[in-house]
Structure 1
Amino acid sequence: MSETTATVPRWHAAGDWFDTCKCDVPCPCSFAQLPTHGDCDGILAWHIREGRYGDVGLDGLNVLMLASFVGNIWAEHTDTYAAVFVDERADEPQREALQMIFGGQAGGWPAEMVTMMAGEMRGMEFAPIEIEVADDLASWRAVVPGRVEASAAALTGPTTPEGARVQSTNLPGAETGPGQVATWGRSTVDRADAHGFLWSREGRSSKHITFDWTGPD
């Protein structure tokens, strides 16, 4: 892709993001701190509720990433690796748009994250991606059949009112950028076997955060 931000059309993408990772609840990375174990790996999923890249509509499409790193992702870190799955339902213009946005070439918040992570890509492929987010944020789930599965239930406890959500605003390390609300959860499934990433666990940190991005500036 030879396109640069100088020729990128105006674009907008908004929707749901969530992760499951190896950190204890709550994940310190969202507070711009060292991960629980000094390193972290996990599953990151995006569902675009509303999106447009120039004249190309992106509504309803999904992207999923596997990632790992050592250290504080917002400060000094090393050994950053990633692999990306792009929704196979996307047609050719949509695939190009998603790769431009999530690859950081279309500017906006994703470009800042790509620059900060400075990671090595282990692979990118088009695949079926199933993403479900409950309307009341009681749970969220993402699946690449046979490769990746992440699901979580909203965090609760003895003093949490029934139906209420444990949430944070103004996170120091919000993965989707400033101005969004995080809803905390605990993973019920966190499993990956793809592109050199391999783990299977449950009961660790998870969070849902909305995203609302524009570009190319």
Structure 2
Amino acid sequence: MTEQATTEQATTSWHLAGDWFDVCKCAIPCPCTFAQPPTYGDCEGILVWHIREGNYGDVRLDGLNVLMVGAFTGNVWAGEHSDAYAAVFLDERADEQQRGALGAVFGGEAGGWPAQFGAMLHPEMRGMDVAPIHVEIDEDLGGWRAEIPGRVMATAEALTGPTTPDGGRVQVHNAPGAEVGPGQVATWGRATVDRADAFGFTWDRSGKSSKHFPFDWTGPD
């Protein structure tokens, strides 16, 4: 990358707002949201971003998706972790300019919250690909799902129990370990499918933790 391109990424104004969710191997509720070590000491899972509206300079990013498969050991929030690995998929509907913008934002070069989160995790990238990413989020947050056919599937339903009001959602405000940054509300779910077979990440399970957060980011500051 040229010095000029790096400077442009660091100074381009951008804004993204949308939905984020994950499914992972942790028990419910995932301790990571409370800035605690993962249930089993290590974690692996699928992270999904759906951009409802967004721009990177003059480049519109509305409706595009990004998905990451990742694993780490230890407590990310306490700086006590190692062996972080990830692979990223960009929406195949994005054109060349949009892919460049998504890469700059989610790769951390464009600043904002993704840069701060990436600086905590420092993942070793196993790969990046462009793929069809199908994402659905129920408007009432009854469930959420994402799929890259033949490679990744993540589906979850909102967590309920005998004392949950009809249509009520189990939520956490002011989470000390929110992957999308401060100020957003977590809605808890139970993973019904958590399956990956990509870039050396292989698992197939259900019944573990899932959570949904809205996100609203700006950069480069």
Match of 1:55 in 2: 58
Counterpart secondary structure, 2:168: coil
- 2:95 aligned to which of 70, 91, 94: 91
Counterpart secondary structure, 1:4: helix
Match of 1:78 in 2: 82
Match of 1:33 in 2: 36
**Alignment identity in percent?**
69
User: What does the per-residue CA deviation read over 1:159-180, in whole Å, with 9 as the maximum and x for residues that have no partner?
Assistant: 0001000000100000000000
Match of 2:153 in 1: 149
Q: Distance in 2 between matches of 1:123 and 1:54?
A: 27
2:211 aligned with 1:191, yes or no?
no
Match of 1:69 in 2: 72
**TM-score, normalised by the number of residues in structure 1:** 0.98
For the aligned residue pairs, the C-alpha RMSD in angstroms reads: 0.9
TM-aligned CA deviation for residue 97 of structure 1: 0.1
User: What does the per-residue CA deviation read over 1:71-93, in whole Å, with 9 as the maximum and x for residues that have no partner?
Assistant: 00112000000000000100011
Q: Which runs of 5+ in 1 are unaligned?
A: none
Equivalent AA in structure 2 for residue 124 of structure 1: M
Counterpart secondary structure, 2:11: coil
Counterpart secondary structure, 2:136: strand
Match of 2:206 in 1: 202
Match of 2:179 in 1: 175
Q: Distance in 2 between matches of 1:29 and 1:180?
A: 15
Q: Which runs of 5+ in 2 are unaligned?
A: none
Equivalent AA in structure 2 for residue 206 of structure 1: S
Equivalent AA in structure 1 for residue 217 of structure 2: W
Match of 2:122 in 1: 118
Equivalent AA in structure 1 for residue 184 of structure 2: Q
Counterpart secondary structure, 1:80: strand
Match of 1:18 in 2: 21
Q: Distance in 2 between matches of 1:23 and 1:176?
A: 18
- Count of matched residue pairs: 217
Q: Distance in 1 between matches of 2:7 and 2:198?
A: 31
Match of 1:42 in 2: 45
Q: Distance in 2 between matches of 1:171 and 1:84?
A: 25
Retained in 2: the 8 A contact 1:5–1:107? no
**Greater helix proportion:** 2
TM-aligned CA deviation for residue 9 of structure 1: 1.2
User: What does the per-residue CA deviation read over 1:57-116, in whole Å, with 9 as the maximum and x for residues that have no partner?
Assistant: 000000000010000011200000000000010001100000000000000000011111
Q: Distance in 1 between matches of 2:7 and 2:193?
A: 38
TM-aligned CA deviation for residue 5 of structure 1: 5.3
**TM-score, normalised by the number of residues in structure 2:** 0.97
